Structure 1
């Protein structure tokens, strides 16, 4: 009898079904969000990256088949190099099955992954291999109607003990931002 070691985690990640996606897309359209980069949201992401000491920070809106980073902060030198020395191309659009934000939106709860390799469900995610992401911290943007519009999140290329303070920071950041986003709709306010 021979022993076969467990196969890598590939294929274990299933992007959760998102029954709210059509309604979310309509809500984002009404708010004028999720279709183009916004300088104020980029500034928010830069602040969040500085606050958490993370190389990557995003304000992410989730559509039916994709994610859009309306706010994005990456290292000034460009994306962090992968172990092979190459630097991935970082854009504002990702398929829905990439990354961890779609899970946050469907779960409607913050997600803390100190080392994604510790979680077989997430270790096989394309952002782990393509972008070298090893840790993630994200919280949903839940508006006053109860809809999860997207996320605010940070990521790092090494394991990170985010701790309770990291969790509290990301949740408070999400709550503060959603108030500003809804203010746009009612008062025509400029973000930040």
Structure 2
């Protein structure tokens, strides 16, 4: 005799509540961020991918309803994703991925193998896109507002280590300084 445990009717989404989302949305609009692709942020994401050796790198801004990758780097010349999975685009629902957790936690998140963390293993990014590892840090400006994240991801487990954590945090701090210089002096991001 075998026993098959009951299966849940739907996916349990564990995306944290983001009470700062309305204020962040207004701040991002004032900064002119989070609504369109920015070539300078694409270049920034490309450099982040190069430094970390990750195939995917993003500069992600979150508002009340969605995530928007104003900076995006994906592998060139290869298949869109493993096993016919969809290509990563610029917009994602708020309950996809790990950046919403970084924003609410207000600190970096290192997932060397998302399968090792039940809270994160059931995320749609695993099933739909094949993401197996993630490294992200919040973009916290001098007002204390978390604007979004910088992050990298891979389709295979990856030992990011202390060096990876230090790199992602330094990259986030650098980008926040650039955003604030642009706001204060009208200088370009890069």
Whether the TM-score (by the shorter chain) exceeds 0.5 is: yes
Please state whether the residue corresponding to 1:75 is helix, strand or coil.
coil
Q: CA RMSD in A?
A: 1.8
- Taking a change above 3 Å as real, the CA distance of residues 78 and 27 of structure 1, as seen in their structure-2 partners, is farther
Partner of 2:71: 71
Work out whether residues 139 and 176 of structure 2, in 8 Å CA contact, stay in contact via their aligned partners in 1.
Answer: yes
1:165 to 133, 150, 163: 163
Segments of structure 1 that go 5 or more residues without pairing to the other structure are none
Shift of 1:6: 9.0
- Give 2:61's aligned residue: 61
> In structure 2, do the counterparts of structure 1 residues 181 and 122 end up closer, same or farther at CA, with 3 Å as the change threshold?
same
Contact 1:79 1:87 survives alignment (8 Å): no
1:31 aligns with 2:36: no
Q: How does 1:10-25 map to 2 (within 5 A)?
A: 11-25=11-25
Q: Is the 8 A contact 1:79 1:90 kept in 2?
A: no
Per-residue displacement from partner, 1:106-145 (whole Å, max 9, x unpaired)? Answer: 0000000000011111111111111100000000000000
CA separation in 2, counterparts of 1:69 and 1:62? 9
Residues 45-124 of structure 1: matches in 2 within 5 Å? 45-78=45-78, 80-82=80-82, 85-124=83-122
Secondary structure of 2:84 counterpart = coil
Shift of 1:80: 4.8
| Deviation beyond 4 Å, 4+ runs, structure 1 | 1-8
Is 1:149 matched with 2:147? Answer: yes
Separation of aligned partners in 1, 2:80 and 2:132:
12
> In 2, are the aligned partners of 1:88 and 1:130 still within 8 Å (CA)?
yes
Deviation at 1:13, TM superposition (A): 3.5
Structure 1 residues 45-73: Cα deviation after superposition (integer angstroms, max 9, x where no partner): 00000000000000000010100000000
Q: Which secondary structure state, in structure 2, belongs to the residue aligned with residue 189 of structure 1?
A: coil
Count, aligned residues: 189
CA shift at 1:153, angstroms?
0.1
User: Could you say what secondary structure the match of 1:45 adopts?
Assistant: helix
> 2:61 and 2:79 mapped to 1: Cα distance?
21
d(CA) in 2 for partners of 1:91, 1:160: 22
Gaps (5+ residues) in structure 2?
none
Which position in structure 1 is the counterpart of 2:132? 134
